[in-house]
Amino acid sequence: MIIEAENISKLYGSDENKVIALDRVNLKIAPGDFISIMGPSGSGKSTLLHILSGLDRPTTGGLFYDGKEIYSFGDRELSAFRRRKIGFVFQQFQLLPVLTAKENIMMPLLLDRKQPEEAYLAQLTELLGISDRLTHLPHELSGGQQQRVAIARALIAEPDIVFADEPTGNLDSKSGGEVMELLKSIRGKLGKTLVLITHDHRIAAMADRQFSIEDGILSEVTAR
């Protein structure tokens, strides 16, 4: 899947409260790309990731998945498209507290009334080292384990691309390092496109293409 952001801007508020969160962003993501985006707090990183992943409409500009403008879809069609094609990993995990790890992982499939493929679930949870934690509730898991459950949820519908917004931001350096290694190895083993926001230079440097964002202006750091 080729993703193209064309001249995307996002404005919040009006008049003296106006904030230009994104300023005419252009970006082309090819299948299998590993992209990192770094930038100071408030520079527009989350806004960009939300727009690229279909979570938030741009004010102006277009977002194309294989040539289709996904914000021309109706809300239901867009939600379904997101569930099937796009995985998203949040800094705060965003697991539902009353559901077990397995139920959280299955959520995207259940919303589509799809049956889980037990073999794929087993492969995924094995890879992520959470096979023996599937009946636990989120509060019974460590931060690193919760994020690994969230990664499994992002992958269960076999999306082509995974977006991660500071996935190690709420973890200590050891479990953060483990989560990064897992994201990298999953990308290699399952052949996913990965777009990652980070504050950490070392993590950013793992990517094939590095970007920085400042005041909503995106620029590529790596030579093309």
Q: Note the residues at the interface with ligand ADP (CB under 6 A).
A: 12-13, 19, 21, 39, 41-47
31's contact among ligand ADP, Mg ion, none, with CB below 5 to 8 A by partner kind, is none
Contacts of 182 (CB under 8 A, 6+ apart): 127, 128, 129, 148, 151
Q: What type of residue sits at position 146? A: Q
Contact 113, 84 (CB under 8 A): no
- Pick 44 or 176: Cβ nearer ligand ADP: 44
- Measured CA to CA, the distance from residue 37 to residue 45 in angstroms comes to 7
Instruction: Give min distance, CB of 22 to ligand ADP, in A.
Output: 8
44's contact among Mg ion, ligand ADP, none, with CB below 5 to 8 A by partner kind, is ligand ADP
- Pick 48 or 161: Cβ nearer Mg ion: 48
Let me know if 217 is exposed, middle or buried by CB neighbors in 10 A (0-12, 13-18, 19+). Answer: middle
- Pick 90 or 108: Cβ nearer ligand ADP: 90
**Judged by CB under 5 A, does residue 46 bind Mg ion?**
yes
Instruction: Give min distance, CB of 211 to Mg ion, in A.
Output: 15
**Judged by CB under 5 A, does residue 47 bind Mg ion?**
no
Sheet of 34-38: strand order equals 86-89, 161-165, 193-197, 34-38, 209-214, 217-220
**Judged by CB under 5 A, does residue 145 bind Mg ion?**
no
108's contact among Mg ion, ligand ADP, none, with CB below 5 to 8 A by partner kind, is none
82's contact among Mg ion, ligand ADP, none, with CB below 5 to 8 A by partner kind, is none
Contact 51, 37 (CB under 8 A): no
- Measured CA to CA, the distance from residue 82 to residue 159 in angstroms comes to 9
- Pick 100 or 198: Cβ nearer Mg ion: 198
- Pick 49 or 101: Cβ nearer ligand ADP: 49
- Total residue length of the chain: 224
Residues lying near Mg ion in the complex (CB under 5 A) are found at: 45-46
